[in-house]
């Protein structure tokens, strides 16, 4: 899956629709960025935009939106109920998929530097991007608001991280940073507001006081009455999903509600949510209830069902889960082709996609065949005695199939990176050094990708041998094709490793990787031989 970083800039304009639309248009103009939500507030006079993309894409979109805001928003004429410091008040970058907080810190700093340089405005860093404790939180930096900025900005301790330490009346100042994803999550109760708040006090990190903290770290919460639904809610914000998950909040609220004899009527997620927290919910219930669910979207549906996310309104996961809401078809162009299109793409007169991508495809097909044979030996009364083993083995093949599928496009991207690196200019010593470094980095990546293909395949031989010994005999020929496909995948992957090795300047590294590739071939040979021996033994035994 492609890298997805979320950016949620808050602009100090929520009443002028023309300005709101103009900023939206500027965000949409950036290729590869998806604008997911625009939320204006008239009383707050503030609009929150939510868009996602790669690191480069979200920074560029944030810049495009800022340029528009610079032309159209005048802070000397702005007022509203929401605290604010500038025309672009806050601009957080948040990791969603295949991105880290470090990536988002880099985005925040890159954006801040560009914004300050291009528009000549002051920018403060906050959250994980800030290195100063007294100005890590937005309220700390925003204290005094726009009206107090002219005197505050001249103080040494409030000198901006980027841009001039001078008051810019039309713009004010911007706060940019990196933070973890926050989920607004409400659990519905047939109770009073006071009972809901009592539970909120029990679970939220703040608790009732410093001496009486709550049970869950990284959780903010209150109880309130939701008039539209005629129910009470424990309303929470999950500020650190690495510490406390959705299912933990759900479980703890249910525990307290049961003790108070209060019915729980499902829950709701406000706004969009990343895929991982939903999968984590599913995995919790799969383990708790001893379920057997493989497919990603089935796991999402299980999470939606167990949390009761459709109680108040429909939860359309295709539009509510960020990874599904974003069109990722461009990130896996080969994987998304039809079989006919893929064959044609391989057959044309160009070097990529080539053997590395084909090896990954063959490997994914081999793992898929093993998965199929495992499923044919499961969920049937005739094979009831194998159910426990199949529930353990099938996920191994499933995970390998998914990983190998992703390597199809990764291999072609790696090869194309070498081509692009070799096209870099080298007219000066500095440019030549940059080019050399880029070529070496791209070459190493073009070696590591097929090496990963071989490693993934070699990780499932033991499971294949075990499956071959007990699997549904009527599908044994499929297992034969699967084993041969896996062997071919490793052979093809190692061939691609070896052909790229001469491009590495580091002789020691070259030798180490060659040795690793040879070991991979030997591991494959042994795994294939064992698999074939077991398969042929089963066939011979069955023919008697």
Active-site residue numbers?
A: 82, 411
DSSP 128-146: TT---GGGSSHHHHHTTHH
User: Phi-psi bin for 403: left (phi > 0), alpha (psi -120 to 50), beta?
Assistant: alpha
| Residue 257 burial (CB count, 10 A) | 21
Q: 235 is written with which tokens?
A: 């309303």
Burial class (CB in 10 A: 0-12, 13-18, 19+), 345: middle
Residues in the chain: 544
DSSP 18-66: HHHHHHHHHHHTSTT-EEEEEEEETTTTEEEEEEEE-HHHHHHHHHHHH
- What is the longest distance spanned by two Cα atoms in the chain? 94
Residue whose structure tokens are 């959780």: 219
Angle at 355 between CA 352 and CA 361, to 5 degrees: 100
Q: 292 is written with which tokens?
A: 């057997």
Cis peptide before 69 (omega within 30 of 0): no
d(CA 384, CA 109): 58
């Amino acid at each position: 899956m492609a890298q997805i970083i979320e950016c949620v800039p808050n602009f100090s304009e929520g009443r002028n629709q023309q300005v709101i639309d103009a900023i939206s248009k500027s965000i949409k103009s950036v290729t590869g960025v998806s604008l997911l939500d625009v939320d204006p507030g008239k009383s707050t006079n503030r609009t929150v935009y939510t868009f996602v993309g790669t690191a480069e894409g979200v920074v560029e979109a944030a810049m495009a939106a800022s340029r528009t805001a610079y032309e159209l928003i005048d802070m000397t004429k702005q007022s509203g109920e929401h605290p604010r410091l500038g025309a672009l008040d806050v601009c957080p970058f948040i990791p969603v998929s295949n991105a880290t907080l470090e990536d988002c810190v880099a985005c925040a700093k890159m954006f801040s530097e560009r914004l300050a340089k291009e528009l000549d405005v002051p920018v403060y860093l906050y959250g994980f991007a800030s290195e100063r404790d007294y100005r890590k939180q937005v309220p700390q930096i925003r204290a005094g608001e726009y009206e107090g900025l002219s005197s505050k900005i001249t103080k040494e301790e409030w000198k901006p991280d980027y841009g001039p330490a001078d008051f810019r009346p039309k713009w004010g100042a911007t706060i940019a940073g990196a933070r973890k994803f926050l989920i607004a999550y409400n659990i519905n109760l047939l109770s009073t507001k006071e009972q809901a708040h009592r539970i909120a006090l029990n679970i939220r990190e703040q608790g009732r006081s410093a001496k009486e903290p709550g049970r869950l770290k990284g959780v903010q919460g209150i109880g309130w009455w939701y008039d539209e639904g005629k129910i009470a809610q424990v309303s929470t914000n999950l500020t650190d999903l690495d510490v406390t998950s959705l299912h933990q909040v759900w479980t703890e609220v249910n525990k307290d509600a049961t003790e108070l004899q209060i019915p729980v009527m499902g829950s709701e997620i406000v706004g969009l949510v990343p895929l991982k927290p939903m999968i984590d919910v599913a995995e919790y219930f799969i383990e708790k209830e001893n379920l057997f669910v493989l497919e990603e979207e089935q796991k999402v549906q299980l999470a939606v069902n167990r949390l009761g996310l459709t109680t108040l309104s429909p939860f359309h996961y295709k539009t509510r889960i960020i990874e599904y809401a974003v069109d990722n078809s461009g990130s896996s162009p080969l994987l998304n082709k039809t079989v006919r299109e893929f064959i044609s793409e391989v057959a044309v007169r160009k070097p990529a996609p080539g053997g590395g991508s084909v090896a990954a495809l063959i490997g994914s097909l081999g793992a898929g065949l093993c998965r199929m044979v495992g499923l044919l030996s499961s969920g049937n009364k005739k094979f009831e005695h194998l159910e426990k083993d199949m529930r353990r083995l099938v996920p191994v093949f499933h995970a390998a199939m998914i990983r190998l599928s992703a390597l199809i496009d990764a291999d072609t991207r790696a090869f194309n990176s070498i081509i692009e690196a070799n096209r870099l200019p080298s007219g000066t010593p500095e440019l030549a050094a940059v080019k050399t470094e880029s070529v070496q980095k791209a070459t190493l990546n073009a070696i590591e990708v097929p090496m990963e293909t071989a490693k993934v395949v070699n990780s499932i031989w033991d499971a294949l041998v075990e499956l071959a010994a007990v699997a549904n005999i009527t599908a044994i020929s499929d297992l034969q094709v699967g084993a041969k496909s896996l062997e071919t995948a490793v052979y093809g992957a190692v061939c691609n490793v070896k052909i790229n090795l001469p491009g590495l300047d580091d002789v020691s590294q070259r030798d180490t990787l060659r040795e690793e590739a040879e070991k991979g071939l030997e591991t494959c040979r042994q795994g294939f031989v064992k698999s074939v021996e077991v398969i042929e033994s089963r066939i011979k035994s069955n023919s008697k």
